[in-house]
């Protein structure tokens, strides 16, 4: 509340994540059979954080990461993993190559060797562009084999390090003041030396040495990480388990579908479906449903999915016709009634047209004859369908289906509706002249003629010119 309130002033503060356990790196030296160790991240070091370590090697080498204080780590193993820097080769002159290794602790406190690169010198003339990083060390300044690892430890020590340290979005250098003599640019010029140099002929220009960074592959073998083969095996096993669960779910759904169909249809056979199946078929179908129910809880309790699907299809072969008869008996009367209403509606309009009703007198006679013909044909079809259906019992398949009635109703509407809904043509009424407009025009014309013989009065208080002769004024 104090931070949000304008009445209080608070100090600025920041929260920085820290590494709870110190982490060190271990490597083998080339010159001597010894090991080099360096603590790259101390306890409570800021995180996320990255550091760049420099090594001089002629071939691939291995780095081992571990927690510096095994007793302070709440894990049974203090080792983190081993990282092999591959494809490291000596320079063309046989000297060791400069290898930069970037180590990092991410936001979650996980250590990793993120990248590694080898610095290769590329000779070029001074006239070329200098957009590439130049190497300032000469051959005599390059560390020898006996002192390479000592230089690494000195570079990465806390007192004096050449490791480039960077955080997310920021990079800082923790290099101490160099003990080497200052370069020619930083020296104070000596008068005598300059005079001697002036007498000597100019030296030949030395070619600058450019460098390029070559990315190196890193093979990581983490202690708490599964191997690729074992990980792939687990992934494959997981996929098999997922597929097995899916098949088991589908099998249970197929079994439940058979069970639901048995219970639902048996209840309807003694209810609404009873009139739509003959006595013989009713007894046989009821016996089959009872048999299927017993099979589900005995022999068919643990069958494959396809067995249940086939069993359901056998039941539907007998049950679907009964269900269809019931649905047709429910829908057919409603559709026939709707069809009869539409026929009566169009027949009434045709009769009014014959009686010269003003509402339909604008319709063409040929169009109305099409309506009458269609109505007559549909009436005949409907009478035949009703007559044929009357001869059928409820336990027999219907003579006319509801889909046929819907199609006939749609045909009737498509033919008749566009004709009977034709709008009357609009009759343009003659425009009436406005007497007021004529009167105003007349007045305007009169005023125009008067204006030809008269002049408009003057503005700003001046009198009309015709009045000037009648007004006399005494002048002093």
**What are the distances in angstroms from CA 328 to CA 99, 313, 324, 381?**
86, 22, 6, 18
Across the range 163-185, mean pLDDT stands at 38
| pLDDT tens, residue by residue, 411-441 | 999 999 999 998 888 766 665 555 555 444 4
Looking at residue 432, its pLDDT comes to: 54
Helix or strand (DSSP H, E) at 115: strand 111-124
Judged on CB neighbours under 10 Å (0-12, 13-18, 19+), 51 is: buried
Q: Which of 157-166, 388-397, 407-416, 446-455 shows the lowest mean pLDDT across its residues?
A: 157-166
Across the range 450-467, mean pLDDT stands at 44
Which range of 26-35, 162-171, 188-197, 319-328 scores highest in mean pLDDT? It is 319-328
Looking at residue 472, its pLDDT comes to: 41
The SS3 assignment for 28 reads: strand
Looking at residue 8, its pLDDT comes to: 83
Looking at residue 335, its pLDDT comes to: 95
**What are the distances in angstroms from CA 265 to CA 185, 295, 297, 321, 467?**
102, 17, 18, 12, 117
Across the range 240-264, mean pLDDT stands at 96
Token pair 């955080």 is found at: 167
Q: Give the C-alpha separation, 302 to 294, whole Å.
A: 13
With left for phi above 0 and alpha for psi between -120 and 50, is residue 169 left, alpha or beta?
left
Looking at residue 202, its pLDDT comes to: 58
pLDDT level of residue 28 (50, 70, 90 thresholds) = confident
Looking at residue 240, its pLDDT comes to: 96
Residue 450, both tokens: 């008067």
Across the range 320-327, mean pLDDT stands at 94
Which range of 26-40, 112-126, 203-217, 325-339 scores highest in mean pLDDT? It is 325-339
Fold match between domain 17-175+205-222 and domain 328-420:
no
Q: Give the C-alpha separation, 68 to 129, whole Å.
A: 47
How big is the chain, counted in residues? 476
Angle at 80 between CA 77 and CA 82, to 5 degrees: 125
Domain 17-175+205-222, classified CATH 2.60.34.10, yes or no = yes
Looking at residue 121, its pLDDT comes to: 84
Q: Which of 195-204, 230-239, 329-338, 461-470 shows the lowest mean pLDDT across its residues?
A: 461-470
Token pair 């957009």 is found at: 131
Q: Which of 76-90, 100-114, 177-191, 368-382 shows the lowest mean pLDDT across its residues?
A: 177-191
Q: Give the C-alpha separation, 397 to 386, whole Å.
A: 14
Looking at residue 226, its pLDDT comes to: 78
pTM above 0.85, yes or no: no
Q: Would the pLDDT of 145 be above 50? A: no
Give residue limits of the domains in the chain.
Answer: 17-175+205-222, 328-420
Across the range 174-195, mean pLDDT stands at 40
> Regarding predicted confidence, which is higher, 42 or 450?
42
pLDDT level of residue 55 (50, 70, 90 thresholds) = very high
| pLDDT tens, residue by residue, 272-322 | 999 999 999 999 999 999 999 999 998 888 999 999 999 999 999 999 999
Looking at residue 294, its pLDDT comes to: 93
Looking at residue 467, its pLDDT comes to: 44
Contacts of 286 (CB under 8 A, 6+ apart): 266, 269
Q: Which of 59-73, 132-146, 420-434 shows the lowest mean pLDDT across its residues?
A: 132-146
Q: Would the pLDDT of 176 be above 60? A: no
* For helices 305-354 and 402-420, angle between their N-to-C axes, nearest 10 degrees: 30
Q: For the domain bounded by 328-420, which CATH number is listed?
A: 1.20.1270.10
Token pair 């991240």 is found at: 41
Across the range 172-185, mean pLDDT stands at 37
Across the range 440-447, mean pLDDT stands at 45
112 with 81: CB under 8 angstroms?
Answer: no
Q: Give the C-alpha separation, 208 to 212, whole Å.
A: 13
């Amino acid at each position: 509340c104090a931070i949000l309130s304008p009445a209080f002033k608070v100090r600025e503060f920041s929260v920085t994540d820290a590494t709870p356990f110190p982490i060190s790196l271990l490597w083998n030296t080339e010159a001597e059979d010894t090991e080099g160790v360096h603590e790259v991240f101390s306890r409570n070091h800021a995180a996320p954080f990255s550091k760049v370590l420099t090594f001089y090697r002629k071939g691939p080498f291995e780095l081992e990461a571990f927690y510096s204080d095994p007793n302070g780590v709440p894990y049974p193993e203090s080792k983190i993993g081993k990282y092999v820097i591959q494809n490291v080769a000596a320079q063309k002159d046989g000297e060791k190559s400069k290898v930069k290794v970037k180590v990092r602790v991410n936001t979650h406190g996980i250590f990793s060797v993120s990248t590694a690169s080898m610095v290769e010198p590329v000779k070029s003339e001074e006239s070329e562009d200098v957009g590439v990083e130049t190497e300032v060390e000469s051959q005599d300044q390059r560390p020898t084999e006996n002192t390479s690892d000592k230089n690494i430890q000195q570079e990465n020590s806390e007192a004096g390090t050449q490791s480039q340290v960077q955080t997310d979005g920021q990079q800082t250098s923790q290099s101490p003041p160099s003990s080497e003599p200052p370069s020619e640019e930083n020296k104070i010029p000596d008068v005598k030396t300059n005079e001697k140099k002036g007498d000597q002929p100019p030296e030949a220009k030395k070619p600058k040495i450019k460098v390029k960074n070559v990315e190196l592959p890193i093979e990581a073998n983490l202690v708490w990480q599964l191997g690729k083969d074992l990980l792939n095996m687990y992934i494959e096993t997981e996929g098999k388990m997922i597929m097995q669960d899916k098949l088991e779910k589908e099998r249970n759904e197929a079994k439940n579908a058979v069970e639901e169909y048995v219970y639902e249809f048996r209840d309807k056979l003694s209810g609404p479906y009873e009139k739509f199946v003959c006595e013989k078929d009713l007894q046989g179908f009821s016996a089959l449903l009872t048999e299927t129910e017993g099979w589900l809880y005995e022999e068919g309790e643990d069958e494959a999915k396809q067995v249940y699907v086939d069993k359901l299809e056998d039941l539907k072969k007998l049950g679907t016709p009964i269900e269809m008869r019931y649905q047709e008996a429910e829908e057919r009367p409603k559709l026939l009634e709707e069809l009869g209403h539409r026929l009566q509606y169009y027949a009434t309009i045709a009769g009014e047209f014959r009686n010269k009703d003003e509402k339909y007198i604008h319709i063409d006679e040929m169009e109305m004859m099409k309506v009458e013909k269609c109505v007559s044909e549909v009436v005949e079809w409907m009478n035949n369908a009703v007559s044929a259906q009357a001869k059928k019992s409820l336990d027999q398949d219907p003579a006319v289906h509801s889909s046929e009635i819907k199609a006939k109703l749609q045909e009737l509407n498509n033919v008749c509706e566009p004709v009977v809904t034709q709008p009357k043509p609009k009759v343009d009424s003659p425009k009436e002249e406005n007497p007021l407009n004529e009167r105003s025009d007349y007045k305007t014309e009169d005023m125009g003629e008067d204006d030809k013989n008269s002049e408009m009065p003057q503005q700003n208080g001046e009198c009309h010119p015709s009045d000037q002769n009648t007004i006399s004024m005494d002048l002093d």
